């Protein structure tokens, strides 16, 4: 009771502070897609701290989703609802992880498994079993990426569905069209060969190219059912490709629970 009352007081104070988008109208009929990167404690010297969500915080957020009646779904479940009209749960939400860090397996996966929830991971094909070589180590420490054995275990258990995040995590808006095509087509092919599953979802590295017509067309031509942007917002559950790349909700390491609530209901937490 006391906790609830203080949370409400905090929410009112925070809303009044103007830092949060408290005043926005609630969105209905949307498909909220949360974006995580790394789960755990950020390493010393990391300049991208906001991309790290603590394990305890991740657990609280997942428990919050459950308590509020949300059901986590996979890319395939969303796709099936659109093409085969299979019904979606009451309050569907996608939990996505970009890049494919080993901490998705060590930190996030046990929590999702324990709570009976599902996630989706966008893999950078050539970096798996290695480290995040695309980051400048002066900005972000090199950390291990998932191994193929970990990826298979998470996939086979039905807890995580894999998607593509290209071959090398290059900026698709800044490389030649031929390379863009290769990043998109080759990663889909290799991941499908390796994992024996269709890659239904694709996410643009850095979100780059999601709103550049030629790049987006190349992603569509590569045959992905869904293409995910890194732009804040909530796309309709009845999404069609003509509506543009799917918007997502960035979960930051310094988020409060209020941010999660506003993200899910308003499509945006902060100003």
Start-end of H helices in the chain: 2-17, 55-67, 75-83, 102-103, 109-115, 148-156, 177-195, 213-221, 257-266
| Cβ closest to Zn ion, residue 98 vs residue 259 | 98
Among the listed residues 103, 149, 151, 96, the one whose alpha carbon sits nearest the alpha carbon of residue 122 = 96
Among the listed residues 55, 62, 51, 88, the one whose alpha carbon sits nearest the alpha carbon of residue 73 = 88
Does 205 bind Zn ion (CB under 5 A)? Our answer is yes
The first and second tokens of residue 61, run together, are 């957020």
| Cβ closest to Zn ion, residue 162 vs residue 258 | 162
* One of 20, 32, 98, 163 touching Zn ion (CB under 5 A): 98
- Candidate ranges 105-113, 146-154, 202-210, 223-231; the one touching Zn ion (CB under 5 A): 202-210
State how far the Cα of 13 lies from the Cα of 264, in Å rounded to an integer. 20
| Cβ closest to Zn ion, residue 8 vs residue 133 | 133
State how far the Cα of 103 lies from the Cα of 113, in Å rounded to an integer. 14
Residue nearest to Zn ion (CB): 98
| Cβ closest to Zn ion, residue 20 vs residue 202 | 202
Does 140 bind Zn ion (CB under 5 A)? Our answer is no
Asked whether the beta carbons of 94 and 76 are under 8 A apart, the reply is no
Q: How far is the CB of 96 from Zn ion (least distance, A)?
A: 11
The count of chain residues that interact with Zn ion, using the rule CB under 5 A, is 3
* One of 32, 57, 95, 99 touching Zn ion (CB under 5 A): 99
Neighbours of 192 (CB within 10 A): 15
Residues 49-88, mask of contacts with Zn ion (x by CB under 5 A): ----------------------------------------
Q: Where on the chain is the footprint of Zn ion (CB under 5 A)?
A: 98-99, 205
């Amino acid at each position: 009771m006391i906790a609830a009352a203080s949370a409400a007081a905090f929410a009112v104070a925070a809303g009044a502070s103007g830092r949060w988008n408290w005043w926005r109208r609630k969105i209905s009929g949307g498909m909220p897609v949360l974006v995580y990167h790394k789960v755990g404690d950020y390493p010393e010297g990391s300049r991208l701290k906001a991309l790290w969500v603590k394990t305890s915080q991740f657990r609280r957020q997942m428990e919050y989703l459950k308590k509020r009646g949300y059901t986590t779904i996979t890319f395939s479940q969303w796709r099936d609802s659109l093409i085969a009209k299979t019904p979606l749960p009451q309050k569907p939400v996608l939990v996505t992880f970009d890049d494919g860090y080993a901490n998705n397996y060590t930190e996030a996966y046990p929590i999702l498994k324990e709570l009976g929830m599902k996630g989706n991971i966008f893999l950078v094909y050539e970096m798996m079993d290695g480290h995040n070589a695309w980051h400048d180590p002066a900005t972000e420490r090199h950390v291990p990426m998932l191994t193929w054995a970990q990826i298979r275990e998470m996939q086979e258990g039905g807890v995580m569905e894999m998607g593509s995040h290209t071959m090398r995590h290059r900026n698709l808006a800044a490389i030649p069209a031929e390379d863009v095509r290769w990043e998109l087509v080759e990663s889909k092919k290799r991941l499908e060969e390796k994992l024996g599953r269709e890659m239904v979802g694709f996410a643009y590295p850095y979100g780059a190219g999601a709103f550049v017509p030629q790049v987006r067309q190349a992603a569509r031509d590569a045959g992905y059912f869904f293409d995910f942007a890194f732009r804040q917002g909530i796309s309709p559950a009845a999404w069609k490709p003509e509506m543009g790349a799917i918007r997502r909700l960035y979960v930051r390491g310094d988020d409060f629970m209020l941010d999660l609530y506003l993200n899910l209901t308003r499509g945006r937490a902060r100003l």
